[in-house]
């Protein structure tokens, strides 16, 4: 059976550490690996994308491979072809497939019938490739991740969930502050072998105490537009600004998966200032995903 990357919980703690160290090597020498030489990777997009598409396409090219970008309206899936049939066909042509879509059940069904690795490029509940880039960014700033406290402030969405899952697996103490009705599930099961933890708060000032990084995401994600006003009102006190960063650990920095809305979830001063590693995160998508592709298509 192929190894898939659907939530990140498929990895062991040792595999995650190794993957991050390999990502550091690939960042230092972007053309050092030709793991995908002569191979193609299918990338299926049913949602708009900037960082995911660019980072995967460029990363696959740097690994010597070819990225086959497929939009949903270009596939027979849009005309009712079964996911099983699509999975079986792709398995005969490409070495892996990445999917950016909505329902997690769609990804799970595709993986069930695929003979090649399936990678979650974003679903409603999970964004594990983003979490890999987040951990790589933290690893660049700190020699060890074990025991570090990272705070996430805002909507308990797919980004927060993946940060909690993979962060705990890496040994982080993840603190998530959200208003009532927007919190992560309190019984979220952490991956097997996780040495870190997850703590839930409503007060962002409590969550950031002692944190080495303060993370946030947009208040209105794709698909949430119909409740935009309600969400902005509920999340109005959850802005990452200099005042909130001042409550975190010395030299703490802001993180954001982008796109950002300056003046809402993050102040313009923080977004474009010196107290953030947001643009490093955006770049690190490429390096972390290259390490992931190596891991999935070239198993030891």
User: What are phi and psi for residue 13, nearest 5 degrees?
Assistant: -60, -40
Domain coverage including residue 173: 129-281
Residue 300, pLDDT score: 59
**Residue 8 to residue 131: CA distance in whole angstroms:** 9
Residues in the chain: 300
Tell me: do 113 and 162 sit in the same domain: no
142/214 same-domain check: yes
In a domain, 4, yes or no: no
State residue 226's pLDDT score: 80
Are 118 and 79 part of one and the same domain?
A: yes
253: in domain: yes
Structural domain count of the chain: 2
Q: Is residue 8 part of a domain?
A: no
Tell me, what CATH number does 208's domain have? 3.40.50.1370
Please determine, for residue 76, whether its predicted confidence score (pLDDT) is greater than 90: no
Q: Measured over all CA atoms, what is the biggest interatomic distance in the chain, rounded to whole angstroms?
A: 55
Q: How confident is the model at residue 81 (pLDDT cuts 50, 70, 90)?
A: confident
Mean pLDDT, the chain, as a whole number?
96
Residues 123-148 have pLDDT tens digits of 999 999 999 999 999 999 999 999 99
Tokens standing for 43?
Answer: 């990338």
Is 73's pLDDT higher than 90?
A: no
| Between 80 and 5, the higher pLDDT residue | 5
The DSSP code for 32 is S
Dihedral sign computed on CA atoms, order 232, 233, 235, 238: positive
Residue 84: inside a domain: yes
Asked if 49 and 188 sit in the same domain, the reply is: no
Q: Could you tell me if 176 and 153 lie in one domain?
A: yes
116 and 157 housed in the same domain: no
Shared-domain flag, residues 72 and 166: no
Q: Are residues 143 and 277 in the same domain?
A: yes
Please report whether residue 44 resides in a domain: yes
164 in the same domain as 208: yes
Residue 23 lies in a domain: yes
């Amino acid at each position: 059976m192929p190894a898939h990357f659907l939530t990140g919980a498929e990895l062991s703690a040792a595999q995650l550490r190794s993957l991050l160290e390999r990502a550091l090597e690939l960042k230092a020498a972007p053309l050092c690996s030709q793991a995908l030489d002569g191979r193609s990777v299918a990338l299926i997009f049913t949602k708009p994308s900037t960082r995911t598409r660019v980072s995967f396409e460029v990363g696959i090219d740097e690994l010597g491979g070819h990225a086959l970008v497929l939009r949903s309206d270009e596939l027979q899936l849009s005309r009712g072809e079964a996911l099983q049939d699509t999975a079986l066909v792709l398995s005969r042509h490409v070495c892996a497939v990445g999917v950016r879509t909505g329902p997690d059940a769609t990804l799970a069904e595709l993986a069930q019938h695929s003979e090649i690795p399936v990678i979650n490029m974003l679903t409603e509940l999970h964004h594990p490739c983003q979490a890999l880039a987040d951990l790589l960014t933290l690893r660049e700033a700190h020699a060890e991740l074990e025991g570090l406290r990272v705070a996430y402030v805002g909507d308990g969405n797919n980004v927060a969930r993946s940060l909690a899952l993979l962060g705990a697996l890496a040994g982080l103490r993840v603190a998530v502050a959200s208003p009532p009705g927007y919190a992560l599930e309190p019984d979220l099961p952490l991956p097997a072998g996780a040495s870190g933890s997850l703590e839930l708060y409503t007060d962002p000032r409590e969550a950031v105490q002692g944190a080495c990084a303060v993370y946030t995401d947009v208040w209105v994600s794709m698909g949430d537009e119909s409740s935009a006003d309600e969400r902005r009102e509920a999340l109005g006190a959850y802005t990452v600004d200099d005042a909130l960063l001042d409550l975190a650990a010395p030299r703490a920095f802001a993180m954001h998966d982008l796109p950002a809305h300056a003046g809402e979830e993050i102040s313009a001063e923080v977004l474009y200032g010196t107290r953030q590693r947001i643009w490093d995160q955006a770049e690190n998508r490429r390096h972390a995903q290259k390490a992931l592709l190596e891991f999935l298509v070239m198993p030891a």
